[in-house]
Every structure is written in structure tokens, then in C-alpha cells.
A = this chain, B = another copy of it.
Amino acid sequence: MRQNRMILPTLREVPKEAEVISHKLMLRAGLVRQLAAGVYTYLPLGLRVLKKVENIVREEMNKSGAQELMMSVLQPAEVWHNTGRWDDYGPELVRLKDRHDRDFVLGPTHEEVITALIKDEINSYKKLPINVYQIQTKFRDERRPRFGLMRGREFLMKDAYSFHTSWESLNETYDQMYKTYNSIFSRLGLNFRPVEANAGAIGGSGRNHEFMVLADVGEDTIATCTHCDYAANLEQATAHLEYAAAGVAPSADAPVFEKIHTPNTKTIDQLVSSLGVEASSFFKTLLYIIDGKTVAVVVRGDHEVNELKLKGLFDAKSVELADDATIERVTGAPTGFIGPVGLKGVEVIVDEAIANAGAGFAGANERDYHLQNVVPSRDFAAGRVADVRNVLEGDTCPKCKEGKIEFYRGIECGHIFELGTKYSVPVGATYLDENQKAQTMIMGCYGIGVSRIMSAVLEQSNDDNGIIWPMPIAPFQVHLIPVNVKDETQVKVAEQLYARLQQQGVEVLLDDRDERAGVKFKDSDLIGLPVRVTVGKKAEEGIVEFKVRKTGESQELTLEQAFEEILGLVLGH
């Protein structure tokens, strides 16, 4: 394509609204423009990348045996009422009314619609399993859209849904999708990790994995093992217990607990500095309201409660910290002095890491007092012992029990779920088995954030000068630059090479603009196509400059050599 007439507006200045590198680059290199918060127009260069990502996803999905179809953006509210998600999904669900005042939703996901379709169209076990997918525009009214395409309100997703007669069959397809996702993210040239994850709003009763692209700006923390392949979202990660349980200090045959005066000392930090002990020697107690019921949660002083684990433990819809008034009413003391000893009328959940711990400190449920020499098993009873905390860096890996946990930041670009019957039961999706008996279908679902991947790639592939596109998704493979478009020889040589390369199926961007060389090169680095061929003064001798964006290596080659080199790099000839 010829650059002169192309809508490819590059920016020298870094746009103010962009916080992260990928967002800056996609604006500066003319890939997208914002129309409203979280809503973008893909300019020609950006659309070419999006289509390439889409095609890699499509090819691998087809290879896996999945069938492509396409559902609508508009979904009648009834299907969301059926599964209860009309109420559960919250303000992120975009709702609207049609001219007859009927409620509709702009689909953020399509479990309801596909399950109803399959219910109507597939009746026999003979037709199962099947796996169907679509690549389609989705909507989510994010409270805080940001980071360009990373968290948008309108975005492109691949979503797949599989239907089965048994969990074994679901397991097989799930494993297949796990492999397919690995192939997709590998072909995209991304540094990624599949991690165990929390099912969130999609739900489901089986396994689920997120495919995380590693990047410092990622909104998720991933816990991985230094030794084995364990990897989990922090929301989901666990640690090997023996190690963790040894955390709380003193001795096992501690004296009877006693009150100590701790005036105005409400936080662990304040206690640590006034008492001169480790944070890990405290039994931190928090009051939660879980589906309306008050629950006390006790974790080690240096640990954080993981509310998603808590939610899972109670199979709850809502988990919130109790307010000050509730705390005072339940414990008789103000916030900052809660403790598990003698606490009445509430269930006490004790984190695994302290269930068998030795003596430590805890709040006394009395203003300005704490207790010392509190021993969990001795001084307070747990309603339940459970894993309800976030793991820490340095914890022991729960899988190999040898390596240590370390943290990375990741961008969630894919998520696969074993749903079970979460949607098929309310929708009534059944099939007739070999004995003509109705059975409920078992489901899986599998998503990829196609547009988000563009952001993820840019976070990983850039330098100070701009983007460094991986070959498989580069908008063009070659940037061909005649330095001076008023020089007849340069133009002639460039045009001939342009024609020859295109004939071979190479995607070439020809910078036919009447601009200074410096401007052209700066734009070229910014746009970041894998190969640059510069046609300059030596064009008369049939010599051009051949430069690889990634390595920065450049060499002077004859036209013939450059041609062969490009075919080799681009088409693998």
C-alpha cells in the first residue's frame, strides 16, 4: 500500500490521555483513535493487525474441530432473566430498550444465547460433543475504561462454547482448548503463562485457566513457581501448608494469654513498632458480611484476606467488610481491637496458615487492649479452617513443594472454563441419551480477547523508538522507503521492488511521501514493520539498505540480494 494517501497519522508527541506504553504506541503509530472512553476506531494499520490476530485464532480454532457461527450483539433480556444474570451482572451489563419498550442487552458474553440455541437444535447424544465459536464485537460498561484496547467498553472477542454428555468428554475438549490456546499465543509471538484462575462472573464448577501475557502493566498478579510449572492467578494461588503454618513465632507451650495495654494502637504496623515484634506474630481478625451474615476471618498479621476464596468458601454472592458500627456491636470494641478470643455470635474462619500455629498476639475485643500468648488451637475455636489468604512471594510451591512462589504481572488475554451445568440447568438444555432418557448437557466455554491482544503485543514488543512487530501479525511485512521521491532513479528502483515483492505475496508499505528522510525514518521506527528497505543515493548502483527492526542490524545489499533476503524472512523460502 502507498503511504501517501493512507490514513496513517503518526504523532511525535506522547498523547496525554495514554498512561501505558501500548496505549501511547497505538495512538502515536496511527493504529487507533478514541471516539469515547473505551471506544475506538481502528485505522487501516490497526485493522490489519486485528485481522491477522483474528485469523490466527480462527485457523487454530478450526484446526481443533470447532465450528464457527455468529450470534447477535442484541440479546433479549429474557435469556438473562432465565439464568439470573440480569440481576447478578451489575452495571457492566449494557442495557437498553427497543421502540416497543422491550429490554435488551448488548452481549458481553453469549452463554445464555448459545445454550438456548443448542437446546433447540441438538436433541441427541449422537450429535455431541460439539464446540462452536464466534469472533464478534462485545460490550462491557467498565467503570473505568483505560489503557487503550486493554480495558475497553467495546472490544473484539473470540468466544467458544462446548456441549457434552459427560465430564470426561468435557475434560477432553478442555485439554484440547488448552493446547489450542498455547498454539495461538505461541504463534502470536507472545511471552505468556497459562495459570489457574478464579471463574468470576462466568462461573462453573470445574477447572479454569487464564492465559496471561506477562507485562508490568498487567492488572493481574500471577504466582509462579521458581522450580516447576505451577502458575496461578493470585486470587487462586495456594502455598504448601507446612511451610506457611510455621510462620507464627513464639513457642507451643506458651503461658496463659493475658491482656496488654495498647492505647490507640490499631494497625498491625503500629503494633509492630510499639511492641517490637514481627507482623507474622499477630492473629489479624477481620469482620465480613457474607450474604448478610457476619463472619470473623483470622489470618496471620502479614497476610491478606483473599475475598474471592472467602466467596468460594461460602458459595456466596456478596462479600463485604463490616462497617464500624457492626464491629462495635459484635465485638464491643472499636475497629482495631478485634480478636478471635471470646468472640460470640459469629462464625470464625481461621486461615490454614495459623490453624496449628504457636502463640501470638490478637485484639482483646476491648478498646486499647490486645492479648499476648494467644494459641489458636487452645484459646479460640474455628468454625472452619480454610485457605482464605493471598500467598506471598517466597511461600513454598503447593505443587512441587520445593520451589518458591514468585510474582509476575500479567494481562489476561484468554480464559477457559469447565462450566458444568451452570447454564444448561436453568436454560433446560437437555439431550436424549442411548435409552431415550433426557439428560442435562455439560458445558465448557473458552474466550480470547482479540483486540486486547494488540495491547499485550505492544507491551512486549517495543523499544524507545517505537513498535517492533512480530512477523505473524505485522500490519505489513516490509517498509520500503525511497529517500527522495523527487529522485527518478530512487522512485523507479523502489517502484520495481514494490511490484516484484507484491507479486510474491509480500505485504509492502511504500513510503511515497514527499517528506524529509529524517521524518520518514522516525515514522518507520515508530510503525515498526519487521523489515525496512531504504532506497537512497546508491540506487544508481543497484544498492539498497536492508534493515531488521528487531535487531537494528543493517546492511547494504544488491536489489537481488534484498529481494531474496525478504522472501526468506517473510515467506520462509
Contacts and interface: CB of A to CB of B under 8 A. Distances in A.
Interface of A: 1, 4-7, 9, 33, 35-36, 39-44, 46-47, 50, 67-76, 91-92, 94-96, 98-99, 104, 106, 113, 117-118, 120-122, 126-127, 130, 132, 137, 139, 141, 143, 153-154
A141 B95 contact: no
A74 B39 contact: yes
A299 to B, nearest CB: 34
Contact of A7 (B67, B70, B72, B95): B67
Contact of A69 (B4, B5, B43, B117): B43
* For the complex of A and B, 5 pairs with smallest distance between CB atoms: A96-B96, A42-B70, A9-B121, A36-B76, A91-B99
A98 B41 contact: no
Contacts of A92: 99
Contacts of A9: 121
Contacts of A104: 36
Most buried by B among A72, A137, A139: A72
A35 B75 contact: yes
B47 A7 contact: no
Contact of A41 (B47, B95, B113, B122): B113
B74 A154 contact: yes
A74 B153 CA distance: 9
Contacts of A69: 7, 41-44, 46-47
A120 B91 CA distance: 33
A42 B77 CA distance: 20
A96 to B, nearest CB: 4
B36 A74 contact: yes
Contacts of A67: 1, 5-7, 44
Contacts of A50: 70
- Say what secondary structure dominates the interface of chain A: mixed
B121 A7 contact: yes
A299 B118 CA distance: 58
13 contacts: A6-B67, A7-B67, A7-B132, A33-B120, A33-B121, A36-B74, A42-B69, A42-B70, A47-B68, A47-B70, A73-B139, A74-B153, A99-B143
Copies in the complex: 2
A348 to B, nearest CB: 38
Nearest to A110: B41
Contacts of A74: 35-36, 39, 139, 153-154
A271 B422 CA distance: 71
Contacts of A75: 35-36
B41 A72 contact: yes
A458 to B, nearest CB: 18
Contacts of A42: 69-71
A40 B94 CA distance: 19
Contacts of A44: 67-69, 132
A71 B137 CA distance: 11
Contact of A122 (B1, B7, B72): B7
A543 to B, nearest CB: 31
B76 A35 contact: yes
A98 B94 CA distance: 7
Contacts of A76: 35-36, 39
Nearest to A142: B99
Contact of A117 (B33, B68, B72): B33
A52 to B, nearest CB: 13
Contacts of A6: 67
A154 B72 contact: yes
A137 B106 CA distance: 13
Nearest to A513: B126
B73 A154 contact: yes
A5 B130 contact: yes
Given A35-B113, A74-B139, 8 more contacts: A4-B126, A5-B127, A7-B132, A33-B117, A39-B76, A41-B70, A47-B70, A96-B96
Given A6-B67, A96-B95, A117-B41, A72 B130 contact: no
A154 B104 CA distance: 13
Contacts of A137: 73, 137
A499 to B, nearest CB: 16
